[in-house]
Chains A and B, each alone.
Chain A
């Protein structure tokens, strides 16, 4: 694992980002945009499952929010990997970073599993199953957000 992190740090893009002022700032911004596109829609969808905006059919929300969240995830992971590569060895040892990655993986897998089983609109899933997912998903993504922010404050 360690040799992988060292290899990431010595890629040309990592070396560029380590010294570049605006390149680094741009990747940072892309990471934040990805998080916004990811977490906003997920929280909105979870709140709908938990009972808000009852008069809006779930499928309508799903059609908008799911693609936006997926785009956000791809952008956040791509930009995040680039930021990680700048100091891969150091970040990999930070406990908040480790928890964050775990929460991102859990949140992603739980969403994939749910939509694979019940489709885009989650028809056929029982209410308790959906509510449990919505609560866990909210905890995962807010937790990942908090842990991600804390990386900048502890290392």
Chain B
């Protein structure tokens, strides 16, 4: 019976480790920052994390911002991140460059700077 159990455990370890993990935390990103500027085309805020779509010179990027508490601590108010708003973001893009997805460390709306992750870079 012990061999049964080991076999099951092995199957699940294999299953778990062979699937590419993405999007949680920072390990799906490159580790280096880039900067993008564009117009917000859609907004989905709230737990577990907020997400914008931004038109960057005709390319639609998925821009991951913080949970509500993080956005608020950065100084963002309700309605700041809205469709049609011009936004500049600095953060880490997905390692898979075809993904057009970026996790924000700081962002700029007009003259205002909003730092979501003060401890990074």
Residues of A within 8 A of B4 (CB): 50, 135
- The SS class assigned to the B binding surface is loop
Residues of B within 8 A of A20 (CB): 47, 68
Residues of B within 8 A of A146 (CB): 12, 15-16
What is the chain B residue whose CB lies nearest that of A24?
A: B47
Once the chains are docked, how many angstroms separate the CA of A139 from the CA of B12? 9
Q: Are A52 and B23 closer than 8 Å at their CB atoms?
A: no
What is the chain A residue whose CB lies nearest that of B19?
A: A150
Q: Are B1 and A51 closer than 8 Å at their CB atoms?
A: yes
- Tell me whether A18 is interfacial, beta carbon within 8 Å: yes
What 1/0 mask marks residues of chain A from 29 to 55 whose CB sits below 8 Å from any chain B CB?
Answer: 000000000000000000100111000
Give the distance to chain A from B4, nearest Cβ to Cβ, in Å: 6
Give the distance to chain B from A107, nearest Cβ to Cβ, in Å: 15
Q: How many residues of A contact B (CB 8 A)?
A: 23
The A-B contact count (CB < 8 A) is 49
- Tell me whether A19 is interfacial, beta carbon within 8 Å: yes
Once the chains are docked, how many angstroms separate the CA of A19 from the CA of B24? 19
- The SS class assigned to the A binding surface is helix
Q: Are B68 and A154 closer than 8 Å at their CB atoms?
A: no
Q: Are B22 and A50 closer than 8 Å at their CB atoms?
A: no
Q: Which of B1-40 contact A (CB under 8 A)?
A: 1, 4-5, 8, 12, 15-16, 19, 21-24
- Tell me whether B79 is interfacial, beta carbon within 8 Å: no
Q: Are A19 and B8 closer than 8 Å at their CB atoms?
A: no
Once the chains are docked, how many angstroms separate the CA of A136 from the CA of B4? 12
What is the chain A residue whose CB lies nearest that of B50?
A: A18
Q: Are A21 and B23 closer than 8 Å at their CB atoms?
A: no
What is the chain A residue whose CB lies nearest that of B8?
A: A138
* B22 partner, pick from A138, A142, A154, beta carbons under 8 A: A154
| Chain A positions near chain B (C-beta within 8 angstroms) | 17-21, 24, 47, 50-52, 86-87, 135, 138-139, 142-143, 146, 150, 152-155
Q: Provide 25 A-B residue pairs closer than 8 Å at the C-beta atoms, listed in order of the A residue.
A: A17-B47, A18-B46, A18-B47, A18-B68, A19-B46, A19-B47, A21-B67, A24-B48, A24-B67, A50-B1, A50-B4, A52-B1, A86-B46, A86-B47, A86-B48, A87-B48, A139-B8, A142-B8, A146-B16, A152-B24, A153-B21, A153-B22, A153-B23, A154-B22, A154-B23
